[in-house]
Structure 1
Amino acid sequence: MRYVWISLGLLALALGTAGLALPLLPTTPFMLLAAAAFAKSSPRLHDWLLGHRVFGPTIRDWRDYRAISPKAKRMALTAMTAALGLSLLLGLDWKILALQAGVLGVMGSWIWTRPDGPEAGA
């Protein structure tokens, strides 16, 4: 079972890394999934990911406080707005736009209502 978790972690890590360049592919959820999979399978990979200078703080904030930093919230909501704007510019069918707007609205509200984390007040 260990190899299944490692494989899932590596896949999530690859998708999260691709999300850095692809605006519609979310990086953070994949990195959180990778951290969870590595926690079950590889302490070395888990420690590496938690210590990563870019991804580590976000993963630790979520793990320890179930928090999303204000900067990450702004970036996520900006990306969601841009994705919907692109869909509008492409002239997608109104049913697709309505579904996309609904999903993005729900997810955006959920993201916005998460705690900011311990360093937000500092």
Structure 2
Amino acid sequence: MNLFYQKLLLIYFTALGVLVGASLIGSIAAVITRYPPIEILLRISREIKIWAIVAAIGGTFSTIEILQLGILEGEIRALIKQLFYIISAFAGAHTGYLIITHLVGRSL
């Protein structure tokens, strides 16, 4: 049971790190190319959200297989675990997005 919580935290912080890191590093290119870095920072943080979720859960095929087992073969426990992992990844990515918007000083 302890491994479940550890994996939830790992997924959460991976999604958060992917979003914040990609947004900040990506906005450096905006400075180099003389685009407004704040606008690029916000745009990247909005657009990379789904990729942060996918990266945090480790790809989509294993998740889809586990969801299939849960729905079609009655593996309810695996289905619930996978849903928690997806929610954790979404929460991490959204927290990263909120951090970026807070740093920039813009509302959602």
Task: Specify the TM-score bucket, using the shorter chain as the normaliser.
Answer: 0.3 to 0.5
- Greater share of helix residues, 1 or 2? 2
Q: Tell me the TM-score normalised to structure 1 length.
A: 0.33
Q: Normalising by structure 2, what TM-score?
A: 0.36
